[in-house]
Structure 1
Amino acid sequence: MTQTCPSGATPAEAHAFLEAHPEVQAVDILLHDSNGIARGKIIRRHELMAIYESGRHLPISILGLDIVGEDVEETGLIWEAGDGDLRAWPVPGSLTAQQGTDPARGELLLGQYHLDGTPMLSAPRHALNRQVEALAAMGLHASAAFELEFFLLAPERDGQGRVQPAGDVVDGRRSTRTEVYSVDHLIGMQPLFDDIYAGAALAGIVAETLISEYAPGQYELTLRYRDDPLRAADDLVRLKRIVRAQARRHGVVACFMAKPMEDHAGSGMHLHVSLRDETGRNVFAEAPGAGWTDTIRHAIGGLLQTMGESMLVFAPHANSWRRFANQSYAPVAPTWGVNNRSVALRIPAGDGKARRIEHRPAGVDANPYLVAATVLAGIRLGIAQRCDPGAETTGNGYDRNAGGIPRDWRSAIEAAKGSAFLKDALGDEMHRTFTAVKAAEYARVARAIPELEYELYLHRV
């Protein structure tokens, strides 16, 4: 029986897509779990219309999986729920063609709902939507964009078993140096990036500036600002998938680990965010010649106050914590400053009309839906409680490491579990799911014996 789609998507969207793309023979239908991993199915062309008309049954356990796709019973989403089916519905405007697939395929994002049409609140996109709606209730609306940092690596390891930068796809030349801001270095990867830009355009994503970043084989792509944080997070998860697929087509590996090389900088996922009132005015923007607005100061204050208990969202994996080090361009304390890349919260230089906060703690391995939800919740708390951010950090922020955030993954998990703020930011169900998955992943890592321990201790103790 045809049902009303609770997400607002209509069959007209599917009909228009099929008419415009007669070459598309299959569609990837995707949900994103607590780790931001896309899980779903590949359906045939003739199945698409039915998803818009009546949804698609998918098991609730998809949202209770760990990083390797194994069940985490403590989420309450596996046997406690009988691993029953929920109904997934299309995210409006997310049906697009993919670049370079043969035969041609499309892609469709899904949202998970209960059978009665209410949102399934262990789904990360719904967690972000809750915070968007909470801000709207205050008469405020966020604009946002993520930055995507990543590595392009060779498929093979070096002689010591370490990952190494990919050779250029043009001629195979490989640089092991930090080619930061080198435009000439980008030319060797230009055919790959041309395909990434083409894939982004097909997906309706405006990918913009490309730079060579601060480590061998590291790059950054920026994304155009969105007036909807949900779309900003959609852009990020889709662009990661495009980068990975196009890199694979060109014979290299796209790496979204936060810290794949021990002696070089890691990869962040900075979130730029501003707020508009009901008239469209940027409420962070100061009057010419005036000081910072109370709104931006209170927003920063809320983000600083909640940063410690939120770090598990920003650094969700064992490897995430290797990124935080002095002089690494990753923040090590809850600090804020202006035009300063050594702090956690940066007010970029530029025209006051575009005033925004750059939130820098999150690694590229984090889930952008949960990052954005937590950041918006911190801003909302700061404005509501008129939080004072304290003095601006000037100069080297690494000289002002006053603590205030957990120092390791285990501490972050414990802080997140007990955080009333994070329960509000993510919602009770998403909070339970996320922290249970992280605890299970920590236990997996903790019981594994790394090769380094054999090297250090096998023949010595």
Structure 2
Amino acid sequence: MPAAGHPRNERMLTLDTLREQIELGEIDTVILGFTDMQGRLQGKLLHARFFLDTVVEHGTEGCNYLLAVDVDMNTVDGYAISSWEKGYGDMEFVPDWNTIRRLPHQEKTALVQCDLAWTDGEDATVSPRSILKRQAERAAAHGWNAFTGTELEFVVYDNSYEDAFDRAYRGLTPANQYNVDYSLLGSSRVEPLLRSIRNAMYEAGLNPESAKGECNFGQHEIAFLYDDVVTTADNHSVYKLSAKQIAAQTGKSITFMAKPNEREGNSCHIHMSLRGENGELVFWDAATGSRTPLYDHFIAGILATMRDFTLFYAPNINSYKRFAEGSFAPTAIAWGIDNRTCSLRLVGHGAGARVENRLPGGDVNPYLALAAMLAGGLYGIEHELPLQPETAGNAYTAGAPRVPSTLREAREALAASAIAREVFGDDVVDHYLNYADVELAAFDAAVTDWELRRGFERL
């Protein structure tokens, strides 16, 4: 029988308490979920009795194409792990019993998040959660724990998802008609939805901090307390799915697209720091009141690998529409102290000292982005990379190196990266290069609204 696990907080469940709630009829559905390449929580909804009688001891499987499809779930060529020639076999769902939680917005439902393994028991190394866990293990080998928080923005529309689909996602009604950045009035217009999401996520074991309006029409952000990197990625995936589900239950829709229209895009700023095994500060020297050399090496490593790893920070065609001057989305590979024009912004001091990565958008896969950021930082420490001078002014016009401006450019940077193959492995790099190739081929074959408007009559 599997170990009961250790709940992350008192709102999470152990396997024993889940069993008790199933026996009492308080839980009748158990979801086994994993995060796929596109950052979506996928899986199975199991009858609770079947879960107890069979799955707890013997496990369950899913088709291995789940790590080898496009966003429309089409089977595509080019993946080493899965193909028609290989017969599209199974992979094992491996429950992490430390992740059991109730989903209060889904009646009598609990969720268990999973790792993935091949049928011979070997880890599915290209799975996003496995990629991040390996980087966390690299940090642990040095005696460090990595902590992070993700700040995920979204736009709320008063249209249902079904209505938005029927309208081809055009002409939708945003929940706010003007810039509501920090506006209490603007937030109150959407507060019934924001409150439902915050409270549901608290009951599900997350730790909400606050909600605030943002710049785009109907744009908002709910912030959560930082945690270790794997827990934060797990929570991010649960929150993103749940926010959409709760919005749908109220006849609204939410998008996390990086750039849903020509106004401000949705960001996902990532804050990260390292601590010692017992919580010791390693980024800050209390005696001098300043950053440690280790912290500087960490920052230098993220900067040195930023172009190479951009595909993991900006994984979609649309991701690159955010990167515009004067947009609060970065274009320069630069760092600054409390400077929001840089891709890396240093904030806090003492125990609060951390680096904010402003590159990722709301469409990011949290496991891949956190893995890239941690891998880059560790590379900088291991190679004692020197930190380039601070950018104190406007990074948009500072002449600093630029982040890739298209998915194709990011794909080529990853393909040419010896560092990526060193820290992630050939299998991971090749897998996600094919992911980019699939997206690029699909986009290159598409006839867009922009082309029709410009060319149908006038050309």
Pairwise same-fold verdict (TM > 0.5) = yes
Give the corresponding residue for 1:451. 449
Give the corresponding residue for 2:36. 33
Give the corresponding residue for 1:143. 147
Asked whether the equivalents of residues 55 and 89 of structure 1 are also in contact (C-alpha less than 8 Å), the reply is yes
Partners of 2:6 and 2:441 lie apart in 1 by: 40
Aligned counterpart in structure 2 of residue 84 of structure 1, from 84, 89, 100: 89
Asked whether the equivalents of residues 14 and 95 of structure 1 are also in contact (C-alpha less than 8 Å), the reply is yes
Aligned to 1:145, the other structure's residue is in SS state strand
The 5 Å alignment of 1:359-370 reads 359-370=357-368
Give the corresponding residue for 1:113. 117
Q: Please tell me whether residue 94 in structure 1 is matched to residue 96 in structure 2.
A: no
Give the corresponding residue for 1:245. 245
The worse-fitting range, judged by mean Cα deviation, of 450-459 and 245-254 is: 450-459
The alpha carbon displacement at 1:8 in A equals 9.8
The 5 Å alignment of 1:313-392 reads 313-348=312-347, 350-392=348-390
Q: Deviations over 1:182-205 (max 9, x none)?
A: 012111222212221222122211
Aligned to 2:277, the other structure's residue is in SS state coil
The alpha carbon displacement at 1:163 in A equals 4.7
Aligned counterpart in structure 2 of residue 166 of structure 1, from 174, 191, 194: 174
Asked whether the equivalents of residues 104 and 200 of structure 2 are also in contact (C-alpha less than 8 Å), the reply is yes
Give the corresponding residue for 1:261. 261
Partners of 2:456 and 2:209 lie apart in 1 by: 50
The alpha carbon displacement at 1:60 in A equals 1.3
Q: Please tell me whether residue 153 in structure 1 is matched to residue 157 in structure 2.
A: yes
Aligned counterpart in structure 2 of residue 396 of structure 1, from 394, 397, 400: 394
* RMSD across aligned positions (CA): 2.3
Q: Please tell me whether residue 24 in structure 1 is matched to residue 27 in structure 2.
A: yes
Give the corresponding residue for 1:222. 223
Asked whether the equivalents of residues 284 and 350 of structure 2 are also in contact (C-alpha less than 8 Å), the reply is yes
Q: Deviations over 1:84-107 (max 9, x none)?
A: 1121111222222212334x2222
Partners of 1:297 and 1:329 lie apart in 2 by: 24
The worse-fitting range, judged by mean Cα deviation, of 279-288 and 59-68 is: 279-288
Partners of 2:173 and 2:223 lie apart in 1 by: 21
Partners of 2:387 and 2:158 lie apart in 1 by: 44
The alpha carbon displacement at 1:138 in A equals 1.5
Aligned to 2:332, the other structure's residue is in SS state coil
Partners of 1:159 and 1:64 lie apart in 2 by: 30
Report the CA distance shift for 1:274/1:152 in structure 2 as closer, same or farther (over 3 A).
same
Report the CA distance shift for 1:423/1:199 in structure 2 as closer, same or farther (over 3 A).
farther
Paired positions, count: 446
Percentage of identical aligned residues: 30
The 5 Å alignment of 1:399-410 reads 399-410=397-408
The worse-fitting range, judged by mean Cα deviation, of 268-277 and 230-239 is: 268-277
Give the corresponding residue for 2:10. none
The alpha carbon displacement at 1:79 in A equals 2.8
Aligned to 2:51, the other structure's residue is in SS state helix
Report the CA distance shift for 1:419/1:83 in structure 2 as closer, same or farther (over 3 A).
same
Asked whether the equivalents of residues 256 and 363 of structure 2 are also in contact (C-alpha less than 8 Å), the reply is yes
Aligned to 2:285, the other structure's residue is in SS state coil
Aligned to 2:410, the other structure's residue is in SS state helix
Letter in 2 for 1:52: V
Asked whether the equivalents of residues 14 and 52 of structure 1 are also in contact (C-alpha less than 8 Å), the reply is no
Report the CA distance shift for 1:221/1:161 in structure 2 as closer, same or farther (over 3 A).
closer
Letter in 2 for 1:215: N
Q: Deviations over 1:149-207 (max 9, x none)?
A: 1111232569997354534xxxxxxx321111001211122221222122212221111
Aligned to 2:62, the other structure's residue is in SS state strand
Partners of 2:435 and 2:6 lie apart in 1 by: 30
Asked whether the equivalents of residues 192 and 247 of structure 1 are also in contact (C-alpha less than 8 Å), the reply is yes
Partners of 1:270 and 1:161 lie apart in 2 by: 26
Letter in 1 for 2:247: A
Give the corresponding residue for 1:309. 308
Unaligned 5+ residue runs, structure 2? 8-12
Partners of 2:299 and 2:428 lie apart in 1 by: 25
The alpha carbon displacement at 1:289 in A equals 4.6
The alpha carbon displacement at 1:415 in A equals 1.5
The alpha carbon displacement at 1:389 in A equals 2.2
- Structure-1-length-normalised TM-score: 0.91
The alpha carbon displacement at 1:283 in A equals 0.7
Aligned to 2:284, the other structure's residue is in SS state coil
Partners of 1:114 and 1:194 lie apart in 2 by: 40
Asked whether the equivalents of residues 277 and 283 of structure 1 are also in contact (C-alpha less than 8 Å), the reply is yes
Partners of 1:101 and 1:38 lie apart in 2 by: 15
- Structure-2-length-normalised TM-score: 0.92
Q: Deviations over 1:294-346 (max 9, x none)?
A: 11111111111100111111111111010000111111011101111111111
Give the corresponding residue for 1:14. 15
Aligned to 2:272, the other structure's residue is in SS state strand
Report the CA distance shift for 1:312/1:163 in structure 2 as closer, same or farther (over 3 A).
farther
The worse-fitting range, judged by mean Cα deviation, of 351-360 and 305-314 is: 351-360
Aligned to 2:88, the other structure's residue is in SS state coil
Aligned to 1:53, the other structure's residue is in SS state helix
Partners of 1:442 and 1:356 lie apart in 2 by: 35
Partners of 1:47 and 1:91 lie apart in 2 by: 18
The alpha carbon displacement at 1:15 in A equals 3.6
Aligned to 1:353, the other structure's residue is in SS state helix
Asked whether the equivalents of residues 373 and 425 of structure 1 are also in contact (C-alpha less than 8 Å), the reply is no
